[in-house]
Amino acid sequence: MVDEVQTLARRAREAAADLAPATRAAKDAALELVADRLLEHLPAILAANAADVERACEAGASATVVDRLTLDRSRVASIAEAVRQIAWLPDPVGEVVRGYTLPNGLELTQVRVPFGVVGMIYEGRPNVTVDAAALCLKSGNAALLRGSSSAACSNGALVDAMRAALEKSDLPVDAVQLVPPDRAAVGELMRARGLVDVLIPRGGADLIDTIVEQSTVPVIETGVGNCHVYVDAVADVERAVRILVNAKAQRPSVCNAAETVLVHADVAPTFLPAALRALAGAGVTVHADERVAGYAEQAGIDVVPATDEDWDTEYLSLDIAAGVVDSLDDAVAHIRAHGSGHTEAIVTSLQDSARRFVASVDSAAVMVNLSTRFTDGEEFGFGAEIGISTQKLHARGPMGLRELTSTKWVAVGDGQVRG
C-alpha cells in the first residue's frame, strides 16, 4: 500500500510538471473531451454504479445514502455539463496578482501558478470525483482522488472515462488518478509530504479532524458549519422570519444552514411569535432557552428545552437552537464561544449594528440582511466550488479555481546585484 500510493503520487508529480505550463486552450479542449467520454462511457458507468448501489442496499444503507450514491442517465449528463461549464471559466493560472517596478529597475510580478498535486479525500456522492478532477485540471493541478469505498466501482468507471479522454488530449493521463479506497491509503496520502502539495478533505467532522491532526501535508480544512442568525434590536420582522426559515429549512443537511438563532430582547416580543410559528410550519424543532420557551408557551407553540450541548451542535437536520440575548455584544460573545467560523448573519435595520457585527464576528462569511445559505462558490459567482474552507490560512470561505492556485514571484532585471 505504501508503495502503491507513493507510486501514484510520483506519477502525479510528473504529470503536474507537464500540466503547469499547459495553455488554457489545451486544458479546455481536454475538459470537453472528458465531458464527451463521460457520456460515451455511460453504460459502463451505470453498470458500475448499479454494483455499488446493490452493495449499499445489501448493507442496509438508508434511502438517503442510496439516493446520493445512485447515478442515472440524467445525473451523468449533469456531471458532464458541469465539466463543460468549468471549461468555460477563466483560467486562474498566469493571472498577475500584483506587480511593480522597483527603484533599482527590477520588474517584479506575482503570478498565479498551480499548486502541483492536490489530494482530495471525500465521502459520498460520485459526482465529486468528476467535479474535483475537472477543477484540478482547469487550475493546472494533478488530482489524487480518494473517494468512499461505497462508491468504489462508480469512481473507478468515472476515472476510466476521464483518463480515456486525457489519452486523446494534450494533457498527461496521470493528471487524474484514483487512490485505493482504504484507510491505509489515507494514511499514506497524509504522509506524502514533498509529493502532494495540499490535501483537501471533504466530509464529516471526524474525517476532517483526523486529517488536520495527522497530516504532514498541508491541509485545507473544510465545511463544518455551526452557523448563526442574529436578529438585532431593531429589525424588519417579516424579513427576519423569511431569512431565518430559509437559512434553517431550505436545505438543512448542508454546512451553510443555520443551527442557532439569537434574538435581541427588544425585538423578541414581536419577532419570536411569528418566527416560532413559521419554523413550526416548516417542520423545524426549536431547542429553546428559557426566555424563548416563555414566548413559545404564550404563543401555544411546542419547543424542546435547549441543553448546553445544543449551542455547539451542527444538527444538519430540521432542528435549531434558539436563545434571547440582551445586546449585540452578547450575541457576538456567544458566537465567539460556540461558532465554527463558517457563516453568521445579522438581520438589522441599524447601520451601526451591521458595521459592528461585521467587524466583530470572526467567520469566513458575515451576512447582513440575507440568508446564511449564500456562502457557496456558485452563489458567490466563482462558477464552481471545490469546498468551503473554515481555516484562515490560504483560503477562507468558498474555494473556486483561484483558491486551487499558489503564486510565484517573477523578477526581471538587467544584471542587478545586491550591494
Q: Which residues form the interface with a second copy (CB under 8 A)?
A: 17, 20-21, 100, 102, 106, 108, 110, 113, 115-116, 193, 197-198, 212-213, 216, 218-220, 236, 239, 242-243, 246-247, 250-251, 336, 354, 358-360, 362-371, 373-375, 379-381, 391-394, 396-398, 406-418
CB of 176 to a second copy, least distance (A): 20
Which lies closer to a second copy via its Cβ, residue 63 or residue 417?
417
CB of 220 to a second copy, least distance (A): 7
Q: Which residues pair with 401 in a beta bridge?
A: none
Which lies closer to a second copy via its Cβ, residue 44 or residue 212?
212
Which lies closer to a second copy via its Cβ, residue 43 or residue 415?
415
Which lies closer to a second copy via its Cβ, residue 163 or residue 373?
373
Which lies closer to a second copy via its Cβ, residue 127 or residue 371?
371
Which lies closer to a second copy via its Cβ, residue 197 or residue 259?
197
CB of 310 to a second copy, least distance (A): 20
The helix/strand/coil state of 319 is strand
CB of 157 to a second copy, least distance (A): 32
Pairing mode of beta strands 343-347, 227-231: parallel
Which lies closer to a second copy via its Cβ, residue 209 or residue 326?
209
* Cell numbers that stand for 384 in this block: 464552481
Which lies closer to a second copy via its Cβ, residue 135 or residue 151?
135
Which lies closer to a second copy via its Cβ, residue 182 or residue 238?
238
CB of 313 to a second copy, least distance (A): 17
- 63 Cβ contact list (under 8 Å, min separation 6): none
CB of 369 to a second copy, least distance (A): 5
CB of 409 to a second copy, least distance (A): 4
CB of 415 to a second copy, least distance (A): 4
CA 41 to chain centre: 28
CB-CB contact of 384 with 377 (8 Å): yes
Hey, what amino acid is at 265?
A: A
- 199 Cβ contact list (under 8 Å, min separation 6): 118, 119, 120, 121, 189, 190, 211, 215, 217, 218, 219, 220
Grid cell 452578547 in the structure block, residue: 330
CB-CB contact of 337 with 304 (8 Å): no
* Cell numbers that stand for 107 in this block: 520588474
Hey, what amino acid is at 221?
A: E
Angle between helix axes 42-58 and 73-88 (nearest 10 degrees) is 120
- Give the side-chain half-sphere CA count within 13 A for 13: 13
Closest CA to 162 of 275, 247, 82: 82
CB of 129 to a second copy, least distance (A): 23
CB of 103 to a second copy, least distance (A): 8
Reported as type and span, the H/E element at residue 243 is: helix 237-249
Instruction: Round to whole Å and give the CA distance between 404 and 82.
Output: 18
Q: Is the dihedral of CA 33, 92, 90, 392 positive or negative?
A: positive
Phi then psi for residue 81, to 5 deg, are -65, -40
Which lies closer to a second copy via its Cβ, residue 17 or residue 47?
17
- 419 Cβ contact list (under 8 Å, min separation 6): none
